[in-house]
Amino acid sequence: MKTLPLSSTRRTFLRSSAALAAAGCLPSTSAFASSAAGKEPEAPSPIRLGMASYTLRTMTRAQVIADMKELRLTLLNCKDVKDHLPMTPLEAEQAALADYAAAGIKVTAIGALYFRKDDDDDVRKNFEYAKAAGVKVIVAGDPTPATLPRIEKFVKEYDIRIAIHNHGPEDKLWPSPLTVLEAVKNMDPRMGCCIDVGHTMRAGTDVVEAIHKVGPRLFDMHMKDLAQPNVKESQVAVGAGIMPVRDIFKALIAIKYPGNVDLEYEIFPDNPMPGVIESFAYMRGVLAGMGYKA
């Protein structure tokens, strides 16, 4: 895989930060200006940036690790794609986890996982996979409302949270995080959401408002950007579109969100790194402008 050198990463960061300043996100007294003068922001960022391994779905695990190192990332939402985190056999999953641990990478969630049947054995295999990975969050792609009581039973048994991933207007079950919230609001507090900000916007739901409404039931966040609010194919690098990234970060901080903001960059799967680098540069620039060390 062709990746950009770190010097390109720094140039992208500078370009993104300059764009932020032009947009009024970074005042002249901003943390980035201090950083450019040799001073770093002092406050640790309350926003934890991570990667959804689906972003690198055409890459091997070794390439994922190399790219994570280049990006200075340690948090990974891992999926059973390529050889990232095999569900079976157990030895293959353990080998993957050992590789990540040796590289200083922590697997923080798994998924999206799919619940194909309303059946104990089918549900249990997903929870066993999460347990073996040592994670406390399963990002769930497609559980039906009828399956939720069965899943809730396993949530209680394993003490592992379920974060149902919304997929926009094409998803007849879970177009919006508010649809998820309505379904789980009276269930165990470990039943909740993974907000995909792009799909949320396309569903006509205000992303910032959804974060506040979901509140403590928000367990994971998939970050992306769109050039047009209702066009799935208009995805761009974060910061190149209309996603209100700064307001999203402010909302997450306001609700004391304890999870990660995982980049899920779904375009250019055979060469995602230029857009990935640009996305993290922009997000780090926003955080620096808010006075946080990213």
Measured CA to CA, the distance from residue 193 to residue 190 in angstroms comes to: 9
What pLDDT is attached to residue 81?
A: 95
**Four-point Cα dihedral 200, 201, 205, 211, nearest 10:** 60
Domain that holds residue 243: 44-289
What pLDDT is attached to residue 42?
A: 73
Number of structural domains the chain divides into: 1
Q: How far is CA 173 from CA 143, 170, 177, 191, 279, in A?
A: 8, 9, 11, 16, 29
Is the four-CA dihedral 84, 86, 91, 97 of positive or negative sign?
positive
What pLDDT is attached to residue 22?
A: 34
Measured CA to CA, the distance from residue 92 to residue 83 in angstroms comes to: 9
Q: Do the domain assignments include residue 87? A: yes
Per-position DSSP letters for 17-48, written without gaps between them: HHHHHHTTSS-TTSHHHHHHTT----EEPSSE
Nearby residues of 11 by Cβ (< 8 Å), 6 or more positions away: none
Q: Do the domain assignments include residue 268? A: yes
Ordered mean pLDDT values, 10 residues apiece, the chain (294 residues):
39 42 36 46 90 98 98 97 96 98 98 93 97 98 95 98 97 96 98 98 98 98 98 97 98 97 97 98 97 88
What pLDDT is attached to residue 293?
A: 87
Q: Do the domain assignments include residue 17? A: no
Q: Do the domain assignments include residue 14? A: no
For residues 42 and 293, the answer to whether their CB atoms sit within 8 Å is: yes
Q: Do the domain assignments include residue 61? A: yes
Q: Do the domain assignments include residue 178? A: yes
CA max distance for the chain: 60
Nearby residues of 130 by Cβ (< 8 Å), 6 or more positions away: 110, 113, 136, 137, 138, 158, 160
Q: Do the domain assignments include residue 48? A: yes
For residues 207 and 195, the answer to whether their CB atoms sit within 8 Å is: yes
Nearby residues of 127 by Cβ (< 8 Å), 6 or more positions away: 138, 154, 157, 158, 160
What secondary structure letter does DSSP report for 166?
P
CATH code (residue 129):
3.20.20.150
Which among 201, 211, 262, 263 is positioned nearest to 231, based on CA atoms? Answer: 201
Measured CA to CA, the distance from residue 150 to residue 127 in angstroms comes to: 12
Q: Do the domain assignments include residue 75? A: yes
In the chain, count H helices and then E strands: 11, 12
Global confidence as pTM: 0.86
Q: How far is CA 266 from the centre of its chain?
A: 12
